[in-house]
Chains A and B, each alone.
Chain A
């Protein structure tokens, strides 16, 4: 029988690291499993090994993660990098977490779980998005952080703060940005205007954001009001075609990076049966999470972008709240000081989430981007087009899960991560139903790939 951990944390980004720090300080036995080779999550990826040239290009917000990373590395907890969690199930003993480490399936047992595995980029299904040469802006940033790689020239397209930040970093690194094509609908500015009040509660962030936006508009070929975006080129990307004010334009470039915001990854929460909720503002599904990170399933907490996208700082605070709450509930800390701290942390998160409302409204994805059509590939793994999905949805299928069976969309190795949301949009659209009523794709193990041989070998627990 394995050791039973008091707290098993999945993900070593800001939320997971902070949760581990707080819980281990309270003498709980903590295990952190993370898929990356070093701690930091996507935001502080590779921070511990970063080279001076990378640091210069990535900027101060990236380096600001150093104290947290140092605190985590010093914390008294078990930490397994390069651990790919492929299955979790509930058991009388608690939770059985199976992860692939060095090619072997290893099983851990814990009484409580904290899911802090973060977010992913919203899939942007435009014609040709599956061709070589097209990647996401997040991918561009990861290449910069982990590998120090920069494209020689690039087109950035879509909407959202990450796209602007990447433009800033690429400029600092001397990359030729052939164009930044902004798909943010003009109406968003008006919709977001009342939320400026919320943004004003975090003036530093607001000024930084404004500066970031303005700087790109001045320093790179910045084109607003972009629609009908598509990738040109037969076998690989040669450029983009897009429309502004009724006029079609073409730009040639072999590297194109797309982005339209982040969405929570819900697969682990879904697998464990945590209630999911559709958010109209965020335009995504997310696990229902309370102020202390609690979900609808006892002993499972969620913190950070895994619950709702709020950025690195909020994630860190949520991680601390989750860890402290776990310690409180275990009776490991009872001091008044820590109770006051917990209340303060929750208030701060509330305020920051409110301020986040401005960004959420400003960068809500354009409606036309949630309606892929014709031969645009929706399911990249099984090569299923929007037209196929729409025709079956229009004939009146029960929902995305039936659609999956009929078309194979969502059956590939990505387990519907790249197509599930767009399948939902197409079903909602064809059947005139609200997204909140179109159940998401069901989730089954493996959450990440494992071979039959590795599964057969397994480990006893």
Chain B
């Protein structure tokens, strides 16, 4: 996690608590999961299963499958298609294959 490359233009947005990789965060409630990850400064959300390279959300409309993360224990969910919900558990994938 680093400084975010994105900012939210909505003033005083309603906040929502999410748990990303076991750490609690407050994010604007209208964010998509992918949006929340970008907002929190996650530049990558998974490692590619073939090359091991870092990947991040690309199309934000459900067609590219680059933003697959674990949401509330459900594996390989498209982060761009879901809105954050209170106490949602989001886990980014640092290694898809446990060797």
Contacts and interface: CB of A to CB of B under 8 A. Distances in A.
The yes or no verdict on A and B being binding partners is yes
Given A381-B65, A413-B68, A414-B64, A147 B11 contact: no
A139 B48 contact: no
Contacts of B51: 383
Contact of A53 (B9, B31, B80): B9
Contacts of A53: 9-11
A149 interface: yes
A418 B6 contact: no
A120 B68 CA distance: 19
B86 interface: no
Q: Name the interface size band of chain B.
A: 35 or more
Contacts of B59: 120-121, 135-136, 138-139
A149 B38 contact: yes
Contacts of A146: 30-32, 35, 83
Given A51-B10, A152-B7, A417 B63 contact: yes
Contacts of B55: 130, 132
B68 to A, nearest CB: 7
A120 B63 contact: yes
A377 B48 CA distance: 13
A120 B65 CA distance: 13
B53 A130 contact: yes
B1 interface: no
Contact of A54 (B10, B64, B74): B10
Nearest to B60: A139
A35 B68 contact: no
A382 B48 CA distance: 9
B40 to A, nearest CB: 11
Q: Kindly name the residue among A46, A103, A135, A173 whose own CB sees the greatest number of chain B CB atoms within 10 A.
A: A135
Interface string A293-330: 00000000000000000000000000000000000000
Given A133-B56, A147-B35, A380 B10 contact: no
Question: How would you classify the secondary structure of chain A's contact residues: helix, strand, loop or mixed?
Answer: loop
A57 interface: yes
A415 to B, nearest CB: 9
A130 B59 CA distance: 11
Interface string A146-157: 111111100000
B65 A254 contact: no
Contact of A135 (B9, B10, B58): B58
A255 B38 CA distance: 11
B53 A35 contact: no
B35 A152 contact: no
B76 A380 contact: no
A354 to B, nearest CB: 28
A235 interface: yes
A414 B5 CA distance: 26
A131 to B, nearest CB: 8
B48 A383 contact: yes
Given A149-B8, A235-B54, 16 more contacts: A36-B81, A46-B30, A132-B56, A135-B59, A142-B60, A143-B60, A146-B35, A148-B10, A150-B8, A173-B9, A236-B43, A383-B48, A383-B53, A413-B76, A414-B65, A449-B65
Interface of B: 5-11, 13, 28, 30-32, 35-36, 38-39, 43-44, 48, 50-51, 53-66, 68, 74-76, 78, 80-83
21 contacts: A49-B30, A51-B10, A53-B10, A57-B9, A130-B58, A133-B56, A135-B60, A136-B58, A136-B59, A139-B60, A143-B6, A143-B32, A147-B32, A148-B9, A148-B31, A236-B56, A383-B53, A414-B64, A417-B64, A418-B63, A451-B75
Interface of A: 35-37, 42, 46, 49, 51, 53-54, 57, 82, 84, 103, 120-121, 130-136, 138-139, 142-143, 146-152, 173, 235-236, 254-255, 265, 380-383, 412-414, 417-418, 448-449, 451
